[in-house]
Amino acid sequence: MVFSQFAPPAGISGSTAIHRDSIVFVSWAKKVEIQRGYIDISDKSLGYVDYGENDYVLGKADGKVISLGDSGVAIVRLANPVVNGESWDFAIFENGFSDEFLELAFVEVSSDGEHFFRFPSISLTDTVDQIETFGTLDTRKVHNFAGKYRVNYGTPFDLDSLSDNEFLDKNNILFIKIIDVVGSISDVFASHDSYGHKVNDPYPTAFNTGGFDLDAIGIIHQKSINRNRNSDILNVMIYPNPFHSHLKIDAKDGIITRIEIIDIYGNKVLSFNNSGQILYDLSMLSAGMYFVKVNFKNDRNIRKKILKN
């Protein structure tokens, strides 16, 4: 099977990184269980990592983390289920200090807490030489791993990328599991992507902050929040999508007060005070992905992903 390269680092055109301040996030993880991993899985006598507290993972990404260690696991239990919305459904934040120093993790979800399903991950990083403790990775060679982006930027995941299964309800995701990738290329300790490739990332990280450092989990599509927010303004048409220069926004119910266009980093790039118009000129935008936020009276709003070609 032939693969092309994947999305580049945060701030570069084509990146899928989402800044922690982006308006796409409707909530953050509030409950997590941690199973600590080893300081060095090849020398278990060193014991387990011990940096960080469970509370550091809760709430908005802030750079405070809990270290998982080699093969460590974090399981987030959600009070309000994640649902399979349009495009990305949640994002995971790590604290990498640069675009090249990356510590990776597998991501799985579950509807019942018993059957977990892993996002199909791909690593194209060379495995001839071990990436050393403070070595670097090219983010364009990894896909569907948490930790792909530097601190303050979340790696997004889309439930549509998971195969259908009778034990998986994509509109009722109650658990998100993050599993540290052991970056060793040794046959004994190596982790493998969904195609059997060894995953090469910095190894060993033989200190109490070793392994994947979990900062936060931001939720984008969530059952109860989406339902409440849109309960009386569902009849809105936003088209064409993708668009070339102009976007039509037509609300059959409710009165639009303001239109905002936000880039994938959460920055507002355009805004319009509505005066009864339906057609909006967005020709000045560069090609790429954006979000349109439609504000109504009574503090109601909806958000939708749009693509300019």
Q: What CATH number should be reported for the domain holding residue 146?
A: 2.60.120.260
Q: Are residues 40 and 69 in the same domain?
A: yes
Question: In the predicted model, what is the mean pLDDT of residues 143-171?
Answer: 95
* More confident of the two residues 278 and 99: 99
Q: Are residues 247 and 196 in the same domain?
A: no
Q: Are residues 23 and 55 in the same domain?
A: yes
Residue 223 reports pLDDT greater than 90: no
Q: Closest Cα to residue 291, out of 267, 257, 258?
A: 267
Residue 172 reports pLDDT greater than 60: yes
Q: Are residues 187 and 73 in the same domain?
A: yes
CB distance 95 to 119 below 8 Å: no
User: According to the model, what pLDDT value does residue 232 have?
Assistant: 45
Q: Give residue-wise pLDDT tens across range 249-290.
A: 887 666 888 899 998 877 889 999 876 778 999 999 999 888
Supply the range of the domain harboring residue 245: 230-308
CB distance 308 to 295 below 8 Å: no
The residue out of 196, 224, 252 marking a domain boundary is 224
- Could you give the number of structural domains in the chain? 2
Q: Closest Cα to residue 197, out of 277, 266, 118, 141?
A: 141
Non-local CB neighbours of 164 within 8 Å, separated by 6+ positions: none
Q: Are residues 126 and 246 in the same domain?
A: no
CA 63, CA 77: separation in Å to the nearest integer?
21
* More confident of the two residues 165 and 146: 146
Q: Give residue-wise pLDDT tens across range 175-185.
A: 999 999 999 99
Q: Give residue-wise pLDDT tens across range 12-57.
A: 989 999 999 998 999 999 999 999 999 999 999 999 999 999 999 9
Q: Are residues 181 and 45 in the same domain?
A: yes
At 286, which CATH number?
2.60.40.1930
Q: Are residues 82 and 142 in the same domain?
A: yes
CA separation, residue 209 to residues 39, 206, 213 (Å): 8, 8, 8
Q: Are residues 49 and 125 in the same domain?
A: yes
Pull the structure tokens for residue 64: 């405070």
The residue out of 224, 248, 277 marking a domain boundary is 224
Q: Are residues 94 and 143 in the same domain?
A: yes
Non-local CB neighbours of 241 within 8 Å, separated by 6+ positions: 247, 304, 306, 307
CA 138, CA 127: separation in Å to the nearest integer?
13
The residue out of 197, 224, 251 marking a domain boundary is 224
Q: Are residues 208 and 257 in the same domain?
A: no
Q: Are residues 162 and 188 in the same domain?
A: yes
The neighbour count for residue 291, using CB atoms within 10 Å, is 19
Residue 230 reports pLDDT greater than 50: no
Q: Are residues 217 and 239 in the same domain?
A: no
Q: Closest Cα to residue 18, out of 295, 305, 308?
A: 305
